[in-house]
Amino acid sequence: MNILHVHEIAGVAGILAKYQRKAGHNVTNIIKESLDTLGFSDVYNEDLIRCDNHKFRDMVISYTKQYDVIHIHGQMVGYFARKLKMVYPDKKLVAHYYGYNDTAAHTSEIDKAVDLALCIRGLENIHPSFIPLDLPVNIERLSYRKHSGYKALYFSNKYVTYEGNKPYRDLTDEAMFAAEIFGLDLNVVDRRKNPIPFKDLPEYIHNYDVFLEYRGDWLHKQGVVLGMAALEALYSGLRVFHLEQGVWFDRFPYSQRAEFVVDMLDNIYRSELKIK
């Protein structure tokens, strides 16, 4: 199968591509370099095309003709789906949704343009055509260590900061309250002001024993539980406390290992897109 991933969200496109190649597929990723502020492309750089703002649109349209499946991530669905379907009506277009802005942009026109609509698990009830797919975790880049201390990490402002026109409700006060209740030595890090490169996160999180998670009010209400950073922390041996749910997690969900998720995605491609 020839697959083109368009755009990057939390390393998901890069992880899917990595494991799709392992499964024998021909896969390329194309991204707008200015949006890769955390450096996902520094980790997942195999068969990667980096574009500046002026060339991105034309490069996506040009490269589409070489691939069978065009897997578009996040906000780029609204920008590219109808354009690509008009130019290449026989191409299989996949929309992959991650949050409020993405799903709110899913219009009836886009629904007609795409051949498959995926979403992170928890968003499947928003639209009847959405099929849930777990976030894939690349455990190859992670290492497990036993953590039993009380140093805690909280990312106060994630790199996606808006739900529609409203900024995410910051839970720094709740994080500080939880730290006081549980006797945690808390470090609050604003990833916008002090970005930690994605390639450095696996080692960086081993400076801590606890990761404090939040998903934003809207995602929380939909049932979306843990994001990529929290999942990676869990696999690495940290305990995770969910600020909105008030729940502790201490076991990594092995169903979210990338090879399992990609195997599921491969089955979805074949059943929904009728591609062998």
Note whether 81 and 207 are same-domain residues. Answer: no
pLDDT at residue number 218: 59
- Total domains in the chain come to 2
* Alpha-carbon gap, residue 202 to 253, rounded angstroms: 18
**Together in a domain, 9 and 109:** yes
Domain shared by 187 and 249, yes or no: yes
pTM score, two decimals? 0.91
Same domain, 185 and 98: no
Residue 116's identity, in one-letter code, is L
**Cα-to-chain-centroid distance, residue 189:** 20
Q: Do 88 and 21 lie in a common domain?
A: yes
Q: Do 98 and 38 share a structural domain? A: yes
Is residue 7 domain-shared with residue 129, that is, in the same domain? yes
Answer yes or no: do 93 and 179 share one domain.
Answer: no
pLDDT in tens, 36-74: 888 898 999 999 999 998 899 999 999 999 999 999 999
Assign residue 246 the CATH number of its domain: 3.40.50
What is the residue range of 269's domain?
Answer: 2-136+257-273
Q: Are residues 268 and 245 in the same domain?
A: no
Q: How far apart are CA 35 and CA 113, in angstroms?
A: 25
Residue 108 pLDDT: 86
Domain check: are 249 and 127 in the same one? Answer: no
The pLDDT value recorded for residue 75 is: 87
Whether 156 contacts 169, CB under 8 Å: no
Claim to verify: residue 267 and residue 195 sit in the same structural domain: no
Digit-coded pLDDT (tens) for 48-58 = 999 998 899 99
Q: CA 154: distance to chain centroid?
A: 18
Q: Are residues 132 and 268 in the same domain?
A: yes
Identify the pLDDT of residue 183. 97
In the chain, which residues have pLDDT < 50? 158-165
Instruction: Report the CATH number at residue 132.
Output: 3.40.50.11010
